[in-house]
Amino acid sequence: MQERKALHTLLAQKQEDLPPKKMKDSYIEVILPLGSQPEIREKYLNVHNSVRFGRILEDLDSLGVLICYTHTKHESHQRSPLSIVTALVDKINLCKKVIYPDCDIKLTGSVSWVGKTSMEVKMHMLQEYDGVYSPVLDATFVMVARDPENKRSAFVNPLIPDGPREEEVFKQGALNKIKRTDFSTASLLKMAPTAEERNIVHNMFLNTLDTRTVSFRSRVLPPNSVWMEDAKLKGLQICHPQERNIFNRIFGGFLMRKAFELGWATACNYGGSRPFIVSVDDIMFQRPVEIGSLLLLSAQVCYTEKNYIQIRVHSEVYDTDTKEHKTTNIFHFTFMSENEVPQIVPKTYGESMLYLDGKRHFNAIMKETREAMNAPAAA
């Protein structure tokens, strides 16, 4: 950190002082040689003889940061004076159920949109099979720029689209920001549920009343259902120095991997069969995790539909000195089980809000999936 203090002289006082960049300037292509170098395969292998998705989350986080450093690199010094921090995993959508452990993986990406101090990064993952690279997933991350010591915001190079395709990508990045703002504004922590959502909750409540007692307090679980309070798992992680980043904080990719693995275990336990990840969305990094922290993870099934399971993982740190709990992240994962799963049923008002929030995330993901499937035909 002492060395990084000298980089303050390279910071721009306003964004206009920085040279504009194009998307191709930050483009990076990386090969993960699982097929050609079997010795690295062990790190990525899971018990089902496919690739651990948690490891892919770590790689995407690292690649996103590297792409942003490339975009903001100071040409004369061949390095970036900035500290790049992951602010948000906007979405990761998968189009393959299984990632093979013995075929090379290609990761590509570039900066797709730029604000004053933030950057959106789009990344794609493909896997080679029979000599052809086929799409596996698309990811959108949002990174923020800080000064060399990670103490305050810093300006980033403007992005100039080159041609109609890049203009469309840039325009989509701006729309994504508006969508995120709208979704946050309509949060159930800030606004009451809609009339339609209130009806859903009330109908679920009526469906659990005991008709024999005709009492608001007497509740009966409907057939093929599970109370929400019985569909959760918890985990504890001691944050060792091994998982630190250059700022002596815990690496964001590590947090995502741990949250995903607990979420997967929760979906597996709930559905009674192997779940497959469909989508990751809206992971907000609210505060850094210090080395030595006790990281408490709580995974909750919050919405189900047919064979889909929506999981919410709450991450918080516990300070042993102050006895305080502080939220660091909320993770949202959509899994698809091999079989149809029981319906999750909330019992309290708080659980009903978790249910509606899970339903909102699930519906948004399904809408995007349908639009993506229809896009090639429309084009």
352-361 per-position pLDDT tens digit: 999 999 999 9
Round to whole Å and give the CA distance between 152 and 352: 38
Cβ atoms of 86 and 62 closer than 8 Å = no
Q: For position 102, what pLDDT does the model report?
A: 93
Low-confidence ranges of the chain (pLDDT < 70): 1-4, 6, 77-78, 246-248, 373, 375-379
Which pairing describes strands 343-345 and 225-227: parallel, antiparallel, or unpaired?
parallel
| pLDDT at residue 2, rounded to an integer | 64
Q: Which DSSP letter does residue 275 get?
A: E
**CA atoms of 68 and 8, how far apart (whole Å):** 18
The pLDDT of residue 378: 36
CATH class entry, domain 1-186: alpha beta
> What is the C-alpha separation between 304 and 109, in angstroms, rounded?
33
C-alpha closest to that of 139 among 70, 95, 89: 89
pLDDT, position 377:
42
SS3 103: coil
Nearest to 252 by CA among 292, 287, 298: 287
pTM, two decimal places:
0.88
The CATH 3.10.129.10 domain(s) of the chain lie at 1-186, 195-374
Q: Give the Cα separation of 351 and 347 in Å (integer).
A: 6
Through-space distance between the first and last CA atoms of the chain, rounded to whole angstroms: 50
The CATH T-level fold of domain 195-374 is Thiol Ester Dehydrase; Chain A (3.10.129)
Among 342, 348, 352, CA closest to 223: 342
CA distance 88 to 36: 33
pLDDT of residue 1: 60
Closest CA to 150 of 328, 326, 8, 293: 8
